[in-house]
Amino acid sequence: MSTDAVDPLEFSPWDFWRDSGVEQQVAQRERQQSLVDGHPGRRLGRDCFVSALASVDPEILQLGDRTYVAAGAYLTGELRTGADCSINPYTVIRGRVTMGDAVRIGAHTSILGFNHSMEPGTPVFRQPLTARGITIGDDVWIGSHVVILDGVRIGSHSVLAAGAVVTKDVAAGAIVGGNPAKLIRWRVAPATEPAPARSRGLGERVAEFGARARREASAILDRAWSGERMLFADRPGAAPTVRAQADAIEIADLLLGVAPPQRTASEHIALLQGWQDAETGAVAPLGPDGLPIAGLDFSHDDVAYHVLSVGYALDLLGSEFPAMITWVTDTTPQRVVEFCQALPWSTDAWRAGHHVDALGTALRWERSAGGSAPAGVEEALFGWLLLNADPHTGMWGSATPDRGLLPVVNGFYRASRGTFAQFGVPVPHPERVIDTVLRHAHDPRWFSAGARDACNVLDVAHPLWLTRDTGYRAEEVQDLASRVLSDALAGWSPDAGFSFREPSPSTRGLEATNPGLQGTEMWLAIVWYLADLLGISDALGYRPRGVHRPEPAAL
């Protein structure tokens, strides 16, 4: 047996960077470098400590500044922490676990963000694992020998007494203990103001916003109109685009109830229909000459999106595509399956969902035109999606080390919008969808002040609205909707509308923070969905009818 003494700082590392020597600090930095080298999903903040006596082998490891991992800790799976967190000796953290700032964990605690299936007939160790994940807020004290099970959310400022077995969510500010853990008392008492009173205050703001948006709609359209080109651009100084024409039609229909007055309705229809390729049914992006670029097919991202934007703009004008969309009229069920399988679900789930959305919408237009798509094509698309939905996330595709769940959630919105939502079919695994969306919505990279943009927020709001009838985690959904809606209303620019990205002092000057048609069209829909989740959407005085319409459109 070795007689070498173990450095006590390995077990009590909170004073490591103050009390250790130069050699120890060099060795610690080298250890941290070895942990992240070759692992794009790992990132360690400033002044962290990871004991050489800890077993650290997660796929994703993101430690905030001044977070330490003591001797004997065992870490696997996906762990993300904020700053000033402590993982004390012999703590076990496995599965999907996310912590805020200042989470302090006592020794011998187990935080298990996964579980085994237990169906009879098969040994448990041979059954698949499930992982709903565990989320822990800020300023949480977790005592020694605590066990936290998969799917639990721990609210900020709470305390988990030593030995507690936590099987259900813990409210913010609560002190809980026992097996199973129950409320002992409050560390921070909950707000005494009832939720309905808060909703009434927000409802008044929503009503004022809706009235203002309608008053300023004409100015927004005038601002984006290029009289020289006789076309809409997203904003002054930008080049006219196909999408800008469609966005202008959506905004005018939503807020004014008419076509944009810069052209007659028949002129808008003729313009959009004239851009469709008579042979393929594709609408390509505009070139410098203002005409569609030749030779592009539905594999092009813009061509795929124009199936939505142009199709719904024509629909709002009481018209339709004049030519068949050969993407669906010339396909077969087998080709649809091959198409879905070939999409980049593991590397770019957003782009995969983008093209499923377009394919589903093309089927919607062909169905309304007389059902010219071959038999079995719709069934093949829905069948593939149902069979390939991940039962752990309720979605398709994989998280990525650099973007986390962003491509998965955004891809789910696009794929489900064009299929399940558009055709009125229930999504598979709705409660897992809610779990995944709420976990993603706590990622500060995408949802902190100034980081939110219209795409990322819409792609959270719509799935939560689509699964609202489950009642699952409804209080958390409403809390998120209330906070994001309140911030969104403050982003409106007078006579200019919304920018695509939420403005803030840190993002001032970025192109995405300039108000434009795309940001306005998307945030108007977002405001409606968030308000409807809170039961106050009637105060807006509008309801989306185009790309972002809530009702099924293909029935």
pLDDT (average), residues 114-136: 78
Neighbouring C-beta atoms of residue 29, cutoff 10 Å:
12
DSSP symbol at 55: E
Structure tokens of 272? Answer: 């959009």
Structure tokens of 263? Answer: 């052209």
Whether the CB-CB separation of 155 and 170 falls below 8 Å is answered with: yes
CATH of 195-540, one of 1.10.3470, 1.20.1250, 1.50.10, 3.30.1490: 1.50.10
| pLDDT one-digit tens code per residue, 73-90 | 999 999 999 889 999 999
What residue has token string 């891809």? 411
| Most distant CA atoms of the chain, gap in Å | 90
CA distance 53 to 70: 8
CA distance 296 to 45: 45
**Of residues 116, 145, 157, 300, which has the active-site annotation?**
116
The pLDDT assigned to 196 comes to 44
Flag whether pLDDT at 540 surpasses 70: yes
CA distance 142 to 272: 60
The pLDDT assigned to 555 comes to 62
The pLDDT assigned to 195 comes to 43
Which among 331, 447, 343, 443 has a CA at the least distance from the CA of 78? Answer: 443
Whether omega before 180 lies within 30 degrees of 0, making that bond cis, reads: yes
The pLDDT assigned to 32 comes to 92
Percent of the chain with pLDDT over 90: 75
Whether the CB-CB separation of 553 and 422 falls below 8 Å is answered with: yes
Flag whether pLDDT at 118 surpasses 80: no
CA distance 272 to 83: 52
Q: At what angle do helices 265-274 and 301-316 cross, to 10 degrees?
A: 150
Query: Mean pLDDT of all residues in the chain?
Result: 91
Task: Report the half-sphere exposure of 436 (CA within 13 A, side-chain side).
Answer: 31
| pLDDT one-digit tens code per residue, 437-472 | 999 998 888 988 778 999 999 999 999 999 999 999
Whether the CB-CB separation of 252 and 267 falls below 8 Å is answered with: no
Q: What is the pTM of this model?
A: 0.67
- Residue 148, SS3? strand
pLDDT band at 53 (very low <50, low <70, confident <90, very high): very high
CA distance 318 to 420: 24
Give the residue extent of every domain in the chain: 8-186, 195-540
CA distance 207 to 142: 43
Flag whether pLDDT at 192 surpasses 60: no
Flag whether pLDDT at 2 surpasses 70: no
| pLDDT one-digit tens code per residue, 337-373 | 999 999 999 999 999 999 999 999 999 999 887 767 8
DSSP symbol at 440: H
The pLDDT assigned to 553 comes to 85
The pLDDT assigned to 454 comes to 96
DSSP symbol at 128: P
Flag whether pLDDT at 243 surpasses 80: yes
DSSP symbol at 85: -
The pLDDT assigned to 468 comes to 94
Any residues with CB less than 8 A from the CB of 500 and at least 6 apart, and which?
A: 453, 454, 455, 512, 513, 516, 518, 519, 522
Query: How far, in Å, are 28, 128, 469 from residue 66 at the CA level?
Result: 13, 36, 42
- Residue 288, burial from CB neighbour count under 10 angstroms (0-12, 13-18, 19+): exposed
Q: How many helices (H) and strands (E) does the chain have?
A: 17, 23
Task: Report the half-sphere exposure of 1 (CA within 13 A, side-chain side).
Answer: 3
- Whether 429 sits among the annotated catalytic residues: the reply is no
For 95, the enclosing helix (H) or strand (E) is strand 92-99
Which among 89, 75, 93, 81 has a CA at the least distance from the CA of 150? Answer: 93
Higher model confidence: residue 373 or residue 22?
22
The pLDDT assigned to 241 comes to 97
CA distance 298 to 284: 9
Flag whether pLDDT at 193 surpasses 50: no
DSSP for 442-508, written as a single string: T-HHHHSTTT-BHHHHHHHHHHHHHTGGG-TTHHHHHHHHHHHHHHHHTTPBTTTB-BSBPP-GGGT
Whether the CB-CB separation of 530 and 489 falls below 8 Å is answered with: no
CATH topology (fold) of 8-186: UDP N-Acetylglucosamine Acyltransferase; domain 1 (2.160.10)
Query: How far, in Å, are 45, 94, 105, 164 from residue 91 at the CA level?
Result: 20, 10, 8, 14
Whether the CB-CB separation of 406 and 443 falls below 8 Å is answered with: yes
| pLDDT one-digit tens code per residue, 160-190 | 999 999 999 999 899 999 999 999 999 987 7
CA distance 526 to 462: 8
The pLDDT assigned to 4 comes to 61
Could you tell me which residues are beta bridge partners of residue 225?
A: 232
The pLDDT assigned to 510 comes to 84
The pLDDT assigned to 190 comes to 74
Sign of the four-CA dihedral 100, 101, 106, 108: positive
Flag whether pLDDT at 311 surpasses 90: yes
CA distance 50 to 10: 8
Whether the CB-CB separation of 150 and 113 falls below 8 Å is answered with: yes
pLDDT band at 506 (very low <50, low <70, confident <90, very high): low
CA distance 411 to 335: 21
| pLDDT one-digit tens code per residue, 199-237 | 448 989 999 999 999 999 999 999 999 988 899 999 999
Flag whether pLDDT at 402 surpasses 50: yes
Q: Convert 251-314 into a string of H (helix), E (strand) and C (coil).
A: HHHHHCCCCCCCCCHHHHHHHHHHCECCCCCCECCECCCCCECCCCCCCCHHHHHHHHHHHHHH
- Mark 476-506 as b/e (b = at least 16 C-beta within 10 Å): bbbbbbbebbeebbebbbeebbbbbbbbbee
What residue has token string 């377009």? 358
